[in-house]
Amino acid sequence: MSVLKTAGIIIAIVILLFIIKAILKKTPEKYYKKARKCHQLGEKYHSLGDEEVSKEYYEEAESYRQKAQELENVV
């Protein structure tokens, strides 16, 4: 293998590791997005009359909001 190929592979691996880290990093924005989706599902099931499922989604949304607020307080 030539030096250029080896350097290219190493650079590709480093870039891939940075991308994976960015995807897996926990941020308040990611938790707020999950909370918003759960809240919307809760509204959907509420409008369909399924209060039990709706309540579960609302509670899940609240837990995501709390995690986001905890991360905001750390930063």
What does pTM read for this prediction?
Answer: 0.72
| Each residue's pLDDT tens digit, 10-44 | 999 999 999 999 888 889 999 999 999 999 999 99
Token pair recorded at residue 24? 């897996």
Task: Round to whole Å and give the CA distance between 64 and 70.
Answer: 10
Name the residue among 66, 56, 57, 65 with its Cα closest to residue 39: 57
Q: At residue 65, what is the residue type? A: R
Please check whether residue 71 is in contact with residue 31, taking contact to mean a CB–CB distance below 8 angstroms: yes
Residue 42 one-letter amino acid: G
